Structure 1
């Protein structure tokens, strides 16, 4: 039987095969790793900023949609009185706001819509109502069929809100106990503009816009502006044309 002796590598050969990175190679590897990490962090930061921008823009659109929906519902319901049967709807004997008697404003049924008329706001808002923004008053019955209640709302833009530095859409609204309560509807609303569509030539079709009283108007054009607290988003504007269905 023949035996073969294995030849072991010399120590110098073993050290040559197990040689690690040189200092230059290590520095190059670290530089490449740092470059890749910087690129990944930059990409993440940009995606994060873009996501935050989209989130803020979507929130702004949601605010605008909610505010406009509330105004549309109130405008469409204006003048809804004639479908009640049996006993008249319950109404408070008097209405008041801060000790001031506002019964005539709260319990009126005509006009069903008002814009910027004397006494549009039953409660004082001295120094708080936004300059240049309109005031819209809507009167109707509650749509709940069981016990409909008298509804009177004065919509306006206030310079203050629950969010610091932003105005808000608010309404002064009649409660069942006769109090007129000031309610914040949506912060961030900076303007409410209301114009009436009237028939100026008697053909039954609306053909002109007016900034004055709404009595006899065929439709109402609502414009709402919402402002973001971010400078890169700015503001958004929505306009809706609402048919006035219940004119007396």
Structure 2
């Protein structure tokens, strides 16, 4: 018996159902891969934004901290009352100590106001804020002190502090006063800074694109000349708020040097021109809040968070991520009296 085996010379293809299933599986895998790619990119962008925000916050606090701790440091002593040449706003400018572009009369040399400020406004007409102006409702913080390290030499055109144990003086002519026999002296640069928030910042590195519309923490600084120079501290800082820790205990009290209450800059308690002024009041601590904003809006993200800090209560509705930080500084030199 012969068995005939018929071999087909054609190969059957995929059925329509098999083809559709294959396309479906491929599409699912492709969508999954694209989703992972997009999510990874979003995560990277978020991490980059938050890292930049935290970096700006650290930079600002690193610069602000030492400046405040040194307030009312005058070299060999910390009593501004014995620093000859200092002058208040209402005083005549001392000979040889005029400053070009001064924010106000005797702004740089008002040594009795080692810590000063303004609440929710930029108060200076003599020095204009950078860019399109100061940020509305932001505070101003002013510090004055001698440099922490002695000056390399007396320099004409730079306001410096000559100090001995019981006395001191400001000078800008490069001529150091004679030191009495048996006494030691120190020459340091006078440091005066007014920190404020500008609506704009200087050009920044790619890809962050700092500049117009990117707020920044800036300061008016006393520099050689002598003159006032505007300097950027950190971009992306949207608000600066300040409160002063005030000690109202009488001189000689065992509690002298501790904070009794927190007040805003310009509070009558610490304003010598106010009827509510307390002559025993001393600023012994400073608390600051910084609201840091991303330098670029984030597509798909909406910030509706309510921020409550200092005397502020604000809610945003935009595409910028933000971080609120605060720090309290004990002042080392202002409470000695």
Alignment of 1:1-248 (within 5 A): 13=7, 15=9, 19-83=12-76, 93-97=97-101, 104-116=106-118, 121=124, 122-125=126-129, 128-147=133-152, 148-162=188-202, 163-202=211-250, 203-204=255-256, 205-213=258-266, 216-228=282-294, 229-230=296-297, 231-232=302-303, 234-247=321-334
CA–CA distance in 1 between the matches of 2:193 and 2:249? 32
1:173 CA drift (Å)? 0.5
TM-score (norm 2): 0.60
CA–CA distance in 2 between the matches of 1:14 and 1:186? 80
Whether contact under 8 Å (1:120, 1:136) holds in the other structure is: no
1:94 CA drift (Å)? 3.5
Q: Aligned residue for 1:87?
A: none
TM-score (norm 1): 0.79
* Structure 1: runs of 5+ lacking an equivalent: 1-8, 85-91
How many equivalent residue pairs? Answer: 230
**Distance change (3 Å), C-alpha of 1:13 and 1:113:** same
CA–CA distance in 1 between the matches of 2:100 and 2:223? 10
* Structure 2: runs of 5+ lacking an equivalent: 78-95, 153-187, 203-210, 271-280, 304-319
CA–CA distance in 2 between the matches of 1:37 and 1:80? 66
1:109 CA drift (Å)? 2.5
Higher helix share: 1
**Distance change (3 Å), C-alpha of 1:107 and 1:119:** farther
CA–CA distance in 2 between the matches of 1:212 and 1:38? 57
CA–CA distance in 2 between the matches of 1:73 and 1:120? 24
CA–CA distance in 2 between the matches of 1:234 and 1:119? 26
Larger Rg: 1
1:14 CA drift (Å)? 5.9
CA–CA distance in 1 between the matches of 2:229 and 2:292? 23
CA–CA distance in 1 between the matches of 2:145 and 2:325? 25
Deviations along 1:214-246, whole A, 9 cap, x unmatched? 672111111111122434553221111111111
